[in-house]
Structure 1
């Protein structure tokens, strides 16, 4: 079977990424920490905040390669065990980040502390975990690429050696400033404001972002949305809308059954769930069928879930002291969308085949701050601007009367055989952005599009600092960057609904 392993974005995503300067860091995971010397501060503040600084020390990063993206060929019998070990790698990074942020005084007193107490032990843990992945794969007869062992080592970097700090957008033109924003003689480096010799934290209510450079006034951004591919005579022009609510019943958890099955808090951030109401780390295909649904169409048992958005206004929510919440840098008031539109659309180049039962799709990448933008598929905009401006690497500041919009356009090509893949990507692909054609034997399926609208008081930028910021939940070391936005989907239908959706689209109807 010829697999199309290239991840093609939609034209919207391609243009949005071009318009929003890249955060690419050359691969590898990034952990930020603030290193302060102060006789006044507590050493047990894990996630930053307002600290008194008596002297300035070094700001450092640790770069850790993403092992999961490299695992494209894992036998089915080994996937559960491998998923558990990949989750362990995420947990190790989270713990290292917490240790970096809570040992500032020790780092100031001992220049070798980070290497000896954090980076060195982290490499040993990662090496052992990668070896367990090797054992899991080889135990069932699979092959393991020994070069993956080289991904155990993490390296330290100063803020000047990384471009993690976000971008500044001027007059509609995106400017990648290498993470540095020049403002009246003050330098903002990777979110670390340096003024008068003092360093402040990475920004945000929890000290791990976002920063002012992560926001842009959308009225000052030049239009960047491309046109859609031209339809052919065989196009599938219909659509199917399913109404599943906005998660008003607050169905949340910090699991991710796709990438970390069987692992509690496998996502390390909080998800909203609509559709299937029985989804957690321990769910199975059988429990999906028994889960009930928030959708009006009770034959739609699909699970639609995404990271929550929070306003960092100084308040805390129910999970302020819980894993995946405040304990991991996801803080502020959780916002419920004012509307959530879920629609399936067709292909401009062909008819579509029905989605297979239990198909899993992840769109976007929760780790773009560390992986770069290869798999980014974030779209941020404002009502009234969606057909003009879509942003990937910045959050929009919307004008009065306009609301924040997150849009997701999922992969619409399927390999015809697999409902998932080892890295949860290669069984699906994007159509060619110019023609809409699926390549290399892939079949067109209904494209899932989701539009989430939020009523958010616009944040303000004062003296290079953002106040009342909003941000998407994420892994703590990802700094709440907008490009990390992502969406998850598991197709579960009954009573022939998958075929009804495909037929509606192929016949050019508008169904709901």
Structure 2
């Protein structure tokens, strides 16, 4: 099992955030969307602190999924369902069919480039650019981790979807989820790091672990799930494994930007602190439950096969 160095954002940066918030792939350019209000904005102060408190927390139990980029397009089936080309450019991992009109049914009928193939889920993040040219990740590892109340954790239901991060952030403090680092050094930063020669750029993105137990989505694609803050609140009592993306890019140095939105217009020049990620669950239910039973609930670490290492 690969050993990982998790970058930790410094205490000063974390405090500021809490105070202020209170593979070659095909390319489809994005259009300029008329509005981007459906993207979730900054989290509240309590959630900002909960996100910051998770930085550096290792999973006690876990299983993994290894994916690669499948395609790149200006689509977002969660935020802009059915509206092809309206979103800024995203990098899609896993399910090869993901487009603006994707549903749980369509994802389950398609194929994936993930290992295991039982995971037909769609994962996506804004496309990275270096000097104006899109860069596909070198590797994408999706970790499903038990970090609290593991024995009570439940498998995410098919169709669950949510968005993490703040694509509309205008400063690093407005997006505590953004976390960039270099492959051989720590700490990390909410904005791009100028990684030295011999290293590669990487990012971690942590997803919430408390679900309301009823809704597969919500109006802002976030309120039905929250980050654990000492416990799961009564409003969100169902414990989920933490989904964590570890993405490594074959670049270092400067000249970096993201697909994003500025003043309602899609661009490829967004800063690193606008990083965000989306998830639509289309796992084979039996295989996902087997991994919960074998790995998450009993506190074991497993590989991509869902068996204890």
The alignment's TM-score, normalised by the length of structure 2, stands at: 0.76
Q: Which residue of 1 aligns with 2:66?
A: 243
Q: Is the 8 A contact 1:381 1:405 kept in 2?
A: yes
> How much does 1:399 deviate?
2.0
Structure with the higher helix share, 1 or 2: 1
Counterpart CA distance in 2 for 1:226 and 1:88 is 35
Q: Which residue number corresponds to residue 300 of structure 1?
A: 119
| Alignment partner, residue 93 of structure 2 | 274
The answer as to 2:196 corresponding to 1:399 is: yes
Higher share in strand:
2
Who is 2:183 aligned against?
Answer: 383
User: 1:293 and 1:360, CA in 2 relative to 1: closer, same or farther beyond 3 A?
Assistant: same
Deviation for aligned residue 1:490: 0.6
Deviations 1:100-130 (A, max 9, x none): xxxxxxxxxxxxxxxxxxxxxxxxxxxxxxx
1:362 paired with 2:163, answer: yes
Distance of 1:264 and 1:226 partners within structure 2: 35
- Matched residue, 1:425: 222
Paired residue for 2:301? Answer: 510
- Offset at 1:501? 2.7
CA distance in 2: counterparts of 1:350 and 1:496, whole angstroms: 19
Residue-by-residue CA offset, 1:265-318 (whole Å, 9 max, x unaligned): 231x21111111111111222211112111122211001111111111xxxxxx
Q: d(CA) in 2 for partners of 1:14 and 1:288?
A: 39
Q: Relative contact order: is structure 1 or structure 2 higher (C-alpha 8 Å, sep ≥ 6)?
A: 2
Distance in 1 between the 2:193 and 2:114 partners? Answer: 30
Q: Residue 397 of structure 1 aligns to a residue in which SS?
A: coil
Following superposition, the deviation at residue 373 of structure 1 comes to 4.4
In the aligned structure 2, how far is the partner of 1:345 from the partner of 1:14?
23
User: What residue number does 1:286 align with?
Assistant: 105
Q: What is the rounded CA distance, in whole Å, between the counterparts of 1:278 and 1:251 in structure 2?
A: 9
Give the corresponding residue for 2:247. 452
In structure 2, do the counterparts of structure 1 residues 225 and 510 end up closer, same or farther at CA, with 3 Å as the change threshold?
Answer: closer
What is the deviation of 1:226? 6.1
* Residue deviations 1:5-36 (CA, integer Å, cap 9, x gap): xxxxxx96795852777996x99xxxxxxxxx
Counterpart-to-counterpart distance in 2, 1:16 and 1:506: 35
**How many pairs align?**
265
C-alpha displacement at 1:475, in angstroms? 1.1
Q: Are 2:90 and 2:125, in contact at CA under 8 Å, matched by a contact in 1?
A: yes
Deviation at 1:349, TM superposition (A): 3.7
Give how far 1:374 is off: 4.8
Match of 2:272 in 1: 482
In structure 1, how many angstroms separate the alpha carbons of the residues matched to 2:300 and 2:129? 37
Task: Give a deviation string over 1:426-455, Cα, whole Å, max 9, x none.
Answer: 0000011xx3x2122422101111111112
| RMSD over aligned Cα atoms | 3.0
Q: 1:493 to 1:226 in 2, by over 3 A?
A: closer
- In 2, the alpha carbon distance for the partners of 1:418 and 1:14 equals 35
**Unaligned 5+ residue runs, structure 1?**
1-10, 28-86, 92-223, 230-235, 313-331, 460-468
Corresponding residue number in structure 2 for 1:90: 36
**Secondary structure of 1:369 counterpart:** coil
1:500 partner SS: helix
